[in-house]
Amino acid sequence: MKNVIEQLINGLSTGSIYALIALGYTMVYGIARMINFAHGDIIMVGAYALYVGVSLMNLPIAAAILLSIIVCAVLGITVEKVAYKPLRKAPPLAVLITAIGVSFLLQNLALLIFKATPIPFQSVIQVPSVSIGGITISGVTIVTLVMTLISMVILTLFINQTRAGSAMRAVSEDKGAAELMGINVNRTISQTFAIGSVLAAIAGILYICQYQSLRPTLGALPGIKAFVAAVLGGIGNVPGAMLGGIVLGLIESIAKAYISTELSDAIVFGVLVVVLLVRPSGLLGKLKNEKV
């Protein structure tokens, strides 16, 4: 039994990272209506930015974190302006392909600059682990969970309570109508990408504090899995993303421990397929009819 609980804790620690990434995914998808394939790679950029700040520029940790967040926010806005904005009226296929292109571009730039060999990175979070009845939860996991929870609450409040948030909801409902209501659609979408990228930066920072190592492809798989989490929770739904991330982490951990390690990825992706085919709106999402 103790072992099962320990495995669930393991699931919680990966799940909390998925949840944090999924928040950014769901936000961008919910409002801009596109899968930002590059989201995972913005996490990678955030991680490398922190590394550059801490290890190469010897900045204080708070400044390095700020640097990482700013770099990601600027990158997110730039990518949106250059690669996605001109395609607002193009078919979704075109946007998807450029998103894949951006993802590859970022990965290969990182590969050229930092090489494929993993770079070790000492965690900047010094929180002691907590032990309850012989079961240990690491400090980083606790911080990640708390950060995800805080991000979720702030994001929900922001979207529901502020003017910019209502603008985002309006754009998500109907771009044309939002424009007619005097909402600056381009600025709203820029803001969405900036916020999504800030979340990605935070995820990147927590990710390398958890795994203590950087490589150019570090964001790719977590990015895709976080997308699965966002779909599982109901895409566009902020609390759903958090729930989906944690459920996915638990599923993955249980699958690895008690079914088959080698098939755990297949099981995770199987979850995606099943959810999309059986309940495309996810756990918490509302079903939407396609408009003619």
Interacting positions 6-45 with other proteins (CB under 8 A): 6-7, 10-11, 13-14, 29, 34-35
- Least distance from other proteins to the Cβ atom of residue 89, Å: 8
Q: State which of residues 185, 276, 283, 284 lies at the interface with other proteins (CB under 8 A).
A: 276
Return the range that interacts with other proteins (CB under 8 A); candidates 108-116, 159-167, 181-189, 239-247: 108-116
Asked whether position 144 contacts other proteins by CB under 8 A, the answer is no
The residues with which 131 forms a beta bridge, in sequence order, are 136
Residues in contact with other proteins, total (CB under 8 A)?
A: 74
Using the rule CB under 8 A, is 132 a contact of other proteins?
no
Q: Which helix (H) or strand (E) holds 135?
A: strand 135-137
Contacts of 157 (CB under 8 A, 6+ apart): none
Using CB under 8 A, which of 59, 70, 104, 149 touches other proteins? 104
Q: Compose the 235-254 pattern: x for residues touching other proteins by CB under 8 A, - for all others.
A: ------------------x-
Smallest gap, in angstroms, from Cβ of residue 163 to other proteins?
Answer: 29
The residues, any chain, with a CB within 8 Å of residue 197's CB and separated by 6 or more, are 24, 42, 72, 73, 75, 76, 77
In the chain, the amino acid numbered 280 is P
Pairing of strands 213-214, 119-120: antiparallel
Rounded to a whole number of angstroms, the minimum distance from the CB of residue 13 to other proteins is 7
- For 45, residues 6+ apart whose C-beta sits below 8 A from its C-beta are 71, 72, 75, 106, 110, 201, 204, 219
Piece in contact with other proteins (CB under 8 A), picked from 20-28, 45-53, 82-90, 180-188: 82-90
Closer residue to other proteins in complex, CB, 146/273: 273
The Cα 160–Cα 156 span in angstroms is 6
Please report whether residue 257 would count as binding other proteins according to CB under 8 A.
yes
Residues 43-72 that bind other proteins (CB under 8 A): none
Q: Give the C-alpha separation, 236 to 284, whole Å.
A: 10
Q: Are 136 and 129 in contact (CB under 8 A)?
A: yes
Span 111-130, contacts to other proteins by CB under 8 A = 111-112, 115-123, 129
Min separation Cβ 267 and other proteins, Å:
9
Residues 6+ apart with CB under 8 A from 6: 135
What amino acid is encoded at 160 in this protein?
N
186 Cβ contact list (under 8 Å, min separation 6): 85
Residues 174-203 that bind other proteins (CB under 8 A): none
Q: Which of 56, 62, 93, 180 binds other proteins (CB under 8 A)?
A: 93
Question: Binding other proteins by CB under 8 A: which of 62, 91, 180, 286?
Answer: 91
Smallest separation (angstroms) from other proteins to the CB of 42 = 15
